[in-house]
Every structure is written in C-alpha cells, then in structure tokens.
Amino acid sequence: MRKIIILYVFFGGLFLNSCTKFLDLPPKNQRAVETLADLKSVLAGYLDAFARSNTQPIYGVMPVVTEAHQMMFEAHSDNFDFEANMSQYVNVANPGANPHAKEAFYADKLLLNDRVTIDAIWTKYYEVIGFLNALIDQSEELREADPAELKRVQGEMLVHRAYYIFKLQQYFAPMDNEELGIPLYLHTGKEVVGIKMKRKASSEIYAVITEDLKRALAYFQEVGPNAGYSRFFNERYIQNLLAQVYWFKAESSSKKAEDYIESEKYALAAIDGTEGYIPKTVVSFRNVQKNLDPEYPAVYMKSVGFGTVAPIYGSPYAAPANLKVNQDFFNSFDAGDLRKETYFVGNVHSHNWPDDTFSKTLHLHLFTPEEAYLILAESYYRNGKADLALTTLNKFKSFRGAVAKSGLSGELLLDEIIKERRKEFYCDTDKRWLDMKRYKVGAMERNLRFFNKNYNIKVEPGDYHYALPIPLSELQENPDIFPNEGWTTIVF
C-alpha cells in the first residue's frame, strides 16, 4: 500500500487567506498515515474533546457551541428584556474587566455587532470541515483496513462533517435565497488547484448533508458502533440530525414536498424508546442539565471557564443579576410547568440557569429526544395529521407538567408548537434565534445607549439579520464570494 501523507492545510487557513490560496500555504504539520490505526489515532485527537470536557480538540472548538457563541445568539434573540437590564449589564459592580471594557462587550453583543464571534464560528467550523475532508479522502485509500472498523470511522467523520456544514448553512445562508448557500468543497489534494470557492445553491448544500448522514446511517445499521471510540456514530443521533436537517430545510428556498415526510420518519425513529429517559420532575430536569443521568440519550458537552456565560445570564455574586425576561414569554408558562420553577426566581431569570450551578459554565446537549419530539409534532401537523400533532404535543407537555390543549388546529396548533419550542429551548445555544429565522417571528426593537450615544436596532421577521455577515477577511481575500447584504459594522 502506498504511503499516505495527511497535510494539515485546512479550511481555517483557507478562509483566513482566501479560498483560492488554501493550497498555496505551507503545511502546518504532517503525519504519515499508513494504516487504519494511524487514521484513528489522528482522529482521536479531535474526538477526545467529545469525551472529556477539559480537552481542546486539535481542530475546531470545545464545546462545539462556545460561551461567546451562545451569548451572541441569545443577544440576537428575544427572550430577555435587554433594555430593562441595561443598568445591571453596564455596571461597576460587575466582576472582571473595567467598566469601559464591559460597555464595549455589551455594545457589540446587544447591537448585533459581534464580528469577532461570528468570524470565529466561520473559521473554526470550516477548519474542522477541512480536517475531516482530508481524513475522509485518505480513508478511501486504506485498502487493507478492516472493512467494518473502517466504516465505523468513516461514518463517525461523515456525521461530524455534516453537523458543521449544517450549522454554517443555518447561520450564514438566507432562508429565501436559493443561490446564497455557503461555499463548500469536499476534497483535498491536487484536484483542488484552480477551483473557485463560490457560494453554492442551498439545495446542493442540503444534498451533501443528507447524503453523508444517510451513508453514515447505512454504515451503522451494517456494522454497529465501536463503543469505546464512537461519539456521533450512533443510530439515534444520526436520525435526530437527519430530522433536524429535513425540518429546517422544509421552510427554506430548498424545500421539497417530501421534506416533512422525511423529518417525520427520522424524528419518529429518534424518539423510539426514549420516553422513559426524558425528565419529568424538577430534580431530574436539573440532573440532566448537569449530566448526572448517564442514561440520558444525547451528546453532552460543557465548558471549563468559570463565570464565562454570566455576562448575559447573570451572576450569583454580583451584577448582572435579577435579569428581566420578555413578559409575554414569562406569562406563557403554566403555573405547574417544571420549567418555570427551574428557569426563574419569581418573575426574573434564575442565575442558576442555563448551567444550574453557581459556576456559570456552559452546558449543552446535542441530539436530544426532546428536540425530536417537537419536530415530530410539527411534521405531523405539516403532513395533514393534526390529531397526531396535537396528541404528540400534549404528550410532550405532560413531561413538563404543562396543561394539555384541546381543539387546536390550523395556525393555532402551529403557534402552540412554536411556543412550546421556545419554552423548552430557553437559553439553549442557538435554538431560539434559529426558530425566529425559520418561522419569521419575533420583531425586535432596541433603543440602547453606549459611550454616550443612542443606538436604535430594529429587526423585522425574515430580514437580513437572520443571515450572519460573511467575515470581512473572507470578502477581502476571496473574489468569488458574495456577501450577505444589509450588514454594517458599528465603530464605537
């Protein structure tokens, strides 16, 4: 078998130095990969971060949604009453940096001007895609490898790559413009020379994602996992992600008639056998959040930075604290809803959430059965099965101690599903912002004062704010890419 060299020139460098220059860069590192064991060893340096919270992957970020990432999407959303909280946010009592630095932090976050975080998402996610491209390409050359184990490793890589491609598409592609999908190329090596990294049609991007996930699912159903190695290579997780992809795509410019049929199928498979693991009390709900239930069927990750989400969510020690939320949102909770007791103290945000500890570190779960349940409810509705949709929604409400609904149909039923998603995914990574984007809901207007100047930010449903700005470095270096219109950078 010929010797294989993996060159670590990936999309991180590609997008910082323009797509067309990516193979002109000198390799950061190289390693001879001659066997499947070599390939698994290289990949393990990335996968280890999904098993241990104190480990940084060799490419990408840990957690896959960072603290800055989560706080930015919360600041882009409508759960909190940011105007009412300003005296808590920009406050000399806040621990950490001096008040001037804190004012800059909040100005960027609350005026939707956080280019540093947006650029980091673009760079780091493409970096991992490039890393996986190289390994997937090289895996095809391992002719003497054990076929079953090779499929497990390839399946693992395909699911991870699909996840990052999907998130970039969700973040940077408009819902209603088919031609403005993300740039993407899936190979490495000599065949890349001379290509132009233009934005692809969104339908092409979704085709890549679904084909990779279905290939990985077929591999899993053929060979099963390697229990000590596999992270995303899990039948339930793959089905969950497929349900998410088809569900999101179904309201985009790339929608097809069968999308909700597919999301129904995969969501139904993803929840199979999970009802007993879904928390139904305040204690079990908190325990899942803190990863104290090892049987809970989802991928768990947490950060290790003390206090790192406190600037938006509040601190138990000083300001910000007693943060006010959108009053209509607060009023949407039933009195007996366990989430109300968990999320709030009185009518303000509990500083114990979203991490449910005093340490204010970020906790997240990927591929949860709760997400699949709510996708299933909506898919039933969209597929003309209103009775099943309402039954599924009410079953889900029963898990949380919420009051069942009766007689809902049409837009009232859909509206109730959207409200349930908002309550379930409060402070959960990017979910509320993506729901606002997908459903075209939640007009926002903010009148805020920073550095002795008044700023007005108005966000209308479906407007340009729901496709994040392409990083300036990419626009400057890549002549083949087209920007997302509307964005201007505020210079304070």
pLDDT at residue number 14: 43
Q: Rank 20-34, 151-165, 474-488 by mean pLDDT and report only the highest.
A: 151-165
Confidence of residue 4 (pLDDT cuts 50, 70, 90): very low
Confidence of residue 27 (pLDDT cuts 50, 70, 90): very low
Q: What is the pLDDT of residues 375-401, one digit of tens each?
A: 999 999 999 999 999 999 999 999 999
Q: Where are the domains of the chain?
A: 4-64+117-233, 77-111+278-456
Q: Considering the domain 4-64+117-233 in this protein, what is its CATH number?
A: 1.25.40
Q: What is the 3-state secondary structure (H, E, C) of the chain?
A: CCCEEEECCCHHHHHHCCHHHHHHCCCCCEEEECCHHHHHHHHHHHHHHHCCCCCCCCCCCCCCCCHHHHHHHHHCCCCECHHHHHHHHCCCCCCCCCHHHHHHHHHHHHCCCCHHHHHHHHHHHHHHHHHHHHHHHHHCCCCCCCHHHHHHHHHHHHHHHHHHHHHHHHHHCCCCCCCCCCECCCCCCHHHCCCCCCECCHHHHHHHHHHHHHHHHHHHHHHCCCCCCCCCCCHHHHHHHHHHHHHHHCCCCCCCCCHHHHHHHHHHHHHCCCHHHCCCCHHHHHHHHCCCCCCCCCEEEECCCCCCCHHHHCCCCCCCCCCEECHHHHHCCCCCCHHHHHHEECCEECCCCCCCCCCCCCEEEECCHHHHHHHHHHHHHHCCCHHHHHHHHHHHHHHHCCCCCCCCCHHHHHHHHHHHHHHHCCCCCCHHHHHHHHHCCCCEEEEEEECCEEEEEEECCCCHHHCCCCCHHHHHHCCCCCCCCCCCCCCC
The two domains 4-64+117-233 and 77-111+278-456 share their CATH topology (first three levels equal): yes
pLDDT at residue number 99: 61
Q: What is the pLDDT of residues 234-268, one digit of tens each?
A: 999 999 999 999 999 999 999 999 999 999 999 99
For domain 77-111+278-456, is the CATH number 1.20.1600.10? no
Confidence of residue 16 (pLDDT cuts 50, 70, 90): very low
pTM given for the model:
0.94
Q: What is the pLDDT of residues 416-425, one digit of tens each?
A: 999 999 999 9
